[in-house]
Amino acid sequence: MVKFSIPAVALSIGAGISSASAFAPSPPFSSTRRAASPLGMAAVAEQQQRQSPLAPLTVWGDRIPDIIESQRAVRSRSSEIEFAPTVRSSDIGLSRDDVDGQLSYFRDNAHEIRRTMVECGAVIFRDFDLMKEQSGFVNFYEALGMKVCLDPLHSVSARPTVDGSKNSPVYEAVNKESRKNFFIGMHNEFVGTRAPRAAAFVCFKPAETGGEFLIADGRKIFRDLDADVVGRLYGRGIRYSVMELPFFGWIDSYVPEFARPATMDLIKGLVSAAINAKVDFAVDLRWGEGGYDGVRMLQARAPSQPPILVHPVTGEPHWFCNVHSHSSKLRKDREAIYGAERFEDGASQINKSDMFYGDDGVIDDSDLEHIDEVTMKNVQFVKMEAGDVVLLDNYKCMHGRNVFDGTRKHGVAWFEGWEGEEEMRRAGRNGDDDADASRRRGAEAAVPFFATSL
């Protein structure tokens, strides 16, 4: 989950899943295939020597003038929403072991695949041996013209890489055995002010049991939420608690009562300076009431932001809110099903998160339960096999991960964008200069430009 840490995942059931018909299969590959030239491990190593750029700043976009009317409009065109089509190698006339043909397919159809990713939120690729190994996976997304960036957690904690090398662009997708009973709630990858534009999740080895990758369409979640809940959350905004520091029980044990206020002010100032020097967004510290496990704690909250955005390319409104993964209540509810989170070290406790209204108000349990119900109704469980990839638009498509048993090896590459993105964006807005300028303002803002001031 996380902000400072965890990632997210999820899937959606049901409606809207289309077939490979969204793609126009290429002509017989025997006639169109170019000489494939897999990069090989040497090229992967070379890429790892290059420093990827930071994840891009989040594109907050324009504030939606009438959020309820916007939701009505989405509901009225609900049947038009298509989500996450699946493409199998056999759909395009290739055998699963024809890695050269597969690479040619991705090169020849890159534009159409990227367009489908943006319009449908995600594309699921199955039975492609090309992506069974990291080198082929890198070849895959480079053939598509995707531009890698650093993990958004880069500035606060390094997510491990699949091959263990420091500069690898392929990160572990929460495979640790110690986290196997932790259901990673639905989220968009987003840390502080940064959010990758897209991502490719790959399976190198599926877990023996469970471990499905989860995806959900943010447009459908927005569509299905109760209008009153949408109105409250959008009107007041949201803010995350991004970490809890549960180390301050000694204040009550060893500091005389008369000296506690001054001691706490001093600690808060020092910790605030240390954290704000480490991250690129403003963090507000608050002493917790009761603390973690009964221990006095400091809670760090990020700035207020909107829970619903307009898509940076298509302009469609969609849910962009990590409450499902970050809500302390929803996590505790899941613990009742899957067992308690296993905190093996202090870092795990620090990464505990929660979500509040933008004015720091507490969100009612009934609203959280409703959000959970709507989210899970839209989750699609994708049981990935070795070589399967889910290419997703990180704004439109949320993700998560089911609990698992056994050994799981999934990876992820983050993208700051792709070749032709600017042209796609202009076409999506029909060259609306005002909208373009507004989106640029949003992209350049360190925090949402309509965020509640604190």
Q: Which residues bind Fe ion (CB under 5 A)?
A: 7-8, 189
- Work out how close the CB of 63 gets to Fe ion at its nearest, in angstroms, rounded to a whole number: 26
Shortest approach of Fe ion to residue 45 CB, angstroms? 26
Question: How far apart are CB 397 and Fe ion at their closest, in Å?
Answer: 11
Name residues whose C-beta falls within 8 Å of residue 357's C-beta, 6 or more positions apart in sequence.
Answer: 232, 233, 236, 237, 238, 239, 363
Burial 2-17 (b: 16+ CB within 10 A, else e): bbbbbbbbbbbeeebe
Nearer to Fe ion, 189 or 421 (CB): 189
d(CA 117, CA 424): 12
Contact 221, 375 (CB under 8 A): yes
Task: State the nearest-atom distance from the C-beta of 433 to Fe ion, in Å.
Answer: 34
Rounded least distance, CB 201 to Fe ion, Å: 9
Q: Quote the CA–CA distance of 192 and 446 in Å, as a whole number.
A: 9
- Between 305 and 322, whose beta carbon lies closer to Fe ion? 322
**Nearest approach, Cβ of 188 to Fe ion (angstroms)?**
8
The residue among 192 and 428 lying less far from Fe ion, judged by its C-beta, is 192
Cα dihedral sign for 432, 435, 439, 440? positive
Q: How far is the CB of 314 from Fe ion (least distance, A)?
A: 22
Q: Which residue is nearest to Fe ion (CB)?
A: 7
List 392's β-bridge partners, or say none. 122, 199
Residue at token pair 């049901």 = 14
Q: What is the three-class DSSP state of 451? A: coil
Q: Which is nearer to Fe ion, 101 or 411 (CB)?
A: 411
Rounded-to-integer distance, Cα 198 and Cα 391, Å: 8
Q: For Fe ion, which is the closer residue by CB, 5 or 139?
A: 5
Q: How are beta strands 213-217 and 389-393 bridged, if at all?
A: unpaired
Q: Smaller CB distance to Fe ion: residue 119 or 189? A: 189
Q: Are 367 and 236 in contact (CB under 8 A)?
A: no
DSSP state for residue 2 in the 8-state scheme: -
In the complex with Fe ion, the residue whose CB is nearer, 68 or 347, is 347
Scanning 51-157, the segments in alpha helix (DSSP H) are 67-76, 99-108, 110-120, 134-143
